[in-house]
Chain A
């Protein structure tokens, strides 16, 4: 079946640095990918919709200059957390539709900013 690979699965960085998270569709082409964020004991929050070859669509309240999304190919979307701060520590998950109505998720990336 369709697989979405997300890397890294966990990352620790210093405050002020930038961190890039990759999301790859391994056996299908993903024109659209979705980026979610999950805080402890809270539900998944859609951050943005990543569209291949065009600008991402950000949800209200999500800073596009803070969370840079690039979707340069049909199999790769990246999320870069720029100038990370401790409040950016969270679990980030990507997903894509493999087929008409089937969302396939990556395993998630846990970011800890010191």
Chain B
């Protein structure tokens, strides 16, 4: 079945460092791909998404490109801030009539000043 594999955390970075959180997937059909973020004490929020191959989702300085050839959707940010400290989840929604979200384990990011 469909699955999402996400790099394990926690990830600890200094402010202004470059961030990459790897995410790969297996799916039949043509899934949509998502990154969600959960800040401390808050609910999950959609960070960005991509619905087809080669699409790039971007928001708040974060980017991820839907790579069908490598079945990946890695999250990147060029310069992280302390306020980016959160848990990041990669997810996919199956193509066709299957819109159930399949989740990665989540990656905790801590950014130190």
Real complex partners, A and B? yes
User: Across the interface, which residues of A come within 8 angstroms of B42, CB to CB?
Assistant: 107
- Residue count of chain B within 8 Å CB distance of chain A: 17
Which secondary structure dominates chain A's binding surface? strand
Contact status B43-A103, CB under 8 Å:
no
A43-B105 in contact (CB<8A): yes
- A95 contacts partner chain B, Cβ-Cβ < 8 Å: yes
Residues on B with C-beta less than 8 A from A68 are: none
By CB atoms of chain A within 10 A, which of B43, B46, B105 has the most?
B43
Distance A46 CA – B101 CA, assembled complex (angstroms): 8
Interchain nearest-CB distance for B66 vs A (Å): 16
Scan A52-63; emit 1 where CB is below 8 A from any B CB, else 0: 000000000000
> B104 in the interface, Cβ–Cβ < 8 Å?
yes
How far, in Å, is B72 (CB) from chain A's closest CB? 17
- Which residue of chain A is the closest to B4 with respect to CB atoms? A43
Within the complex, what minimum Cβ distance (angstroms) separates A24 from chain B? 12
Whether, in the assembled complex, B106 has its beta carbon less than 8 Å from a beta carbon of chain A, the answer is yes
Q: Is the CB of A104 within 8 A of B105?
A: no
Q: Are B44 and A105 interface neighbours, CB within 8 A?
A: yes
